Structure 1
Amino acid sequence: MSQKVFKADVGEKGDFQRKASVFRSTISKDGPFPPEEDRYHLYISLACPWAHRTLIVRNLKGLDNVIGLSVVHYLMLEKGWEFADSDEVPGCIPDSVNNFKLVRELYFQSDANYSGRFTVPILYDKKTKRIVNNESSEIIRMFNSEFNEFAKNPELDLYPEALRTTIDEVNARVYDGFNNGVYKAGFATSQQAYEENAKLVYETMLWLNEILNNRKYLCGDTLTEADIRLFTTAIRHDPVYLGHFKCNLVAQR
């Protein structure tokens, strides 16, 4: 999970309300964060579907030698995501940039008065020592287009212009009914909110099944960001969301 549920994240009806990401700057040649080789660093958790999508796009585009990587401990405790050595926890990669022990230190380094959630993924600028962006949907688009001069696979376009309207429409429904839908069900604090969102997840999965019964990809005959955004939730459905979050109609009976 990318975050725990807090009282402030729950509405009056017991419905989980995800807070918007705070750091929303972009990588662009004419902006304060231009694309450069070995300037940016990605912080993720392998347990987090939102962070997982950024890792997939980073690797598919061939940016593993361009953008550094740190992987936190899979278990988020009271102080939030923690860094660990791979000898302690297989798969972890310590913070090689600042040698921080906690992800929250990155947030306070960027904004001493920060009072939001300490989430991953984080795209970080080593030159200015600031968080550029912590919104996964925007990070994957930056990886897709803004680092092509350094990428091993610059020809790969996961957001092709001809399919953008379709991709955006699919993303919107998948996000509400599946990516975030499982959390709206799992983090609901009222029976009504849970039942409404568990049903929404089920109906969204039926819709997705209809599409993928007839073709390999969500938006046509090519892999796009929509498929990646779906995959990182779908791969976690049976081991996590189905039972732990009770995203199934059987649980309602």
Structure 2
Amino acid sequence: MSSTAGSFEREPVGMDERILADGSSRWPVEAGRYRLVAARACPWAHRSVIVRRLLGLESAISLGIAGPLHDERSWRFHLDPGDRDPVLGIEYLGEAYRAADPDFDAGITVPALVDVASGKVATNGFQDLTLDFSTQWTAHHRDGAPDLYPEEHRAEIDEVIASFYDSVNNGVYRCGFASTQDAYAEAYGELFDRLDSLSERLADRRYLVGDSITEADVRLWVTLVRFDAAYHGHFKCNRQKLTEMPVLWAYTRDLFQTPGFGDTTDFEQIKQHYYGVHHTINPSGVVPLGPDVSGFLTPHGRADLGGRPFGDGTPPGPVAGSERVPSLT
């Protein structure tokens, strides 16, 4: 991370324990025990929703959705009846953090896995959460679940993820929350340099690693899909729009049209969150009406590069009615 004055520094998560299948953690893998609290707006949370759906963990891990708006008290369940999560019974996610630690004063973030019986957050370790869904929750995967973290490609997947975490996933935030021109310029340059290198990598291959979707694709995609709706304007990442980067635009459309990706994406909630919560950047709170997102459904031509989206697995089934997002069609 840069030491340039005015640079955005992401705080470490405060409860990064892991839920493990071998019993070595105080939080064991157990179907029905945990509720995944996510938010449609947040890219870090979105990737957990995607992986949960691709692996078929819906029956093992329930899903609670915090709304796009929050205040100093944390993410809140303002889309649910009575403004409370129907399973946890809480109004603010911070209540589950304080149930685990009454003195908790770090960031209250999504995604978080909450132990339903106690109401305590078990983990908000977003960096390990989806990897653990792939490697620790295998007993609860659906038939035909893809291998998103294949052992033979893990070193390369880890390397690729590391190459764009700070410059792209976190880089858009480094642009948006920079408080000096130099810090912004540094983040901006690193962001677009990395996007250019990713365009080169994806020009002749359909996916980032191997011939099927992996964890690396999920992590890159959640930033790309938000680019024009939020980061280009709101975070000043404005050298180009995603729609003006041909390879990355086609790659993003390909995945958007793949079950698990577009059917978990809510553009309205994304815009409501970024423009409605970041008052230092957008004091008016006015949410833009654009951009036109219908282009995500246009032909992408990426199938000509080969590859099998789910490898030896199969696509997930239809989204559960209670988890559906507004369709572009």
Which bracket does the TM-score occupy, shorter chain normalised? 0.7 to 0.9
Aligned to 2:12: 20
Post-superposition Cα deviations, 1:194-223, rounded to whole Å, max 9, x if no partner, equal 011011111111011011111110012121
Partner amino acid, structure 2, of 1:133: T
Shift of 1:12: 7.0
Distance of 2:80 and 2:231 partners within structure 1: 27
Structure 2 partner of 1:138: 128
CA RMSD of aligned residues (A): 1.9
List gaps (5 residues or longer) in structure 1. Answer: 1-9
Q: Kindly indicate whether the alpha-carbon contact (under 8 Å) linking 2:43 and 2:223 is maintained by their aligned counterparts in 1.
A: yes
Distance in 1 separating the partners of 2:104 and 2:91: 18
What SS does the aligned partner of 1:214 have? coil
The DSSP-based 3-state class of the residue aligned with 2:138 is coil
- Find the aligned partners of 2:119 and 2:69 in 1 and give their Cα distance: 26
**Which residue, out of 219, 223, 226, partners 2:216?**
226
Aligned residue identity for 1:226: A
Match runs of 1:70-81 below 5 Å: 70-81=64-75
TM-superposed deviation, 1:78: 3.1
8 Å Cα contact 2:32/2:61 also seen in 1: yes
Query: 1-side partners of 2:217 and 2:201: how far apart?
Result: 12
What SS does the aligned partner of 1:232 have? helix
Report the secondary structure of 2:203's partner residue: helix
Equivalent AA in structure 2 for residue 158 of structure 1:
L
The answer to whether 1:236 aligns with 2:236 is no
Of 27, 33, 36, which aligns to 1:33?
Answer: 27
Partner SS state of residue 196, structure 1: helix
Q: Choose from 48, 52, 57 the match for 1:63.
A: 57
CA distance in 2, matches of 1:225, 1:76: 29
Residue number among 102, 117, 123 corresponding to 2:113 in the alignment? 123
38, 51, 59: which is aligned to 2:45? 51
- How many residue pairs get matched? 237
- SS of the aligned residue for 1:249 comes to coil
Task: Structure 2 unaligned segments of length 5 or more: list them.
Answer: 241-329
Segment drifting more, 147-156 vs 46-55: 147-156
User: SS of the counterpart of 1:165?
Assistant: helix
The CA distance in 2 between the partners of 1:15 and 1:65, in whole Å, is 42
Alignment partners' CA distance in 2, 1:155 and 1:75: 33
1:156 correspondence with 2:146: yes
SS in 2 for 1:132: strand
For residue 127 of structure 1, report the CA deviation from its aligned partner: 3.8
Q: Distance in 2 between matches of 1:18 and 1:54?
A: 19
Instruction: Give TM-score, length-normalised by structure 2.
Output: 0.68
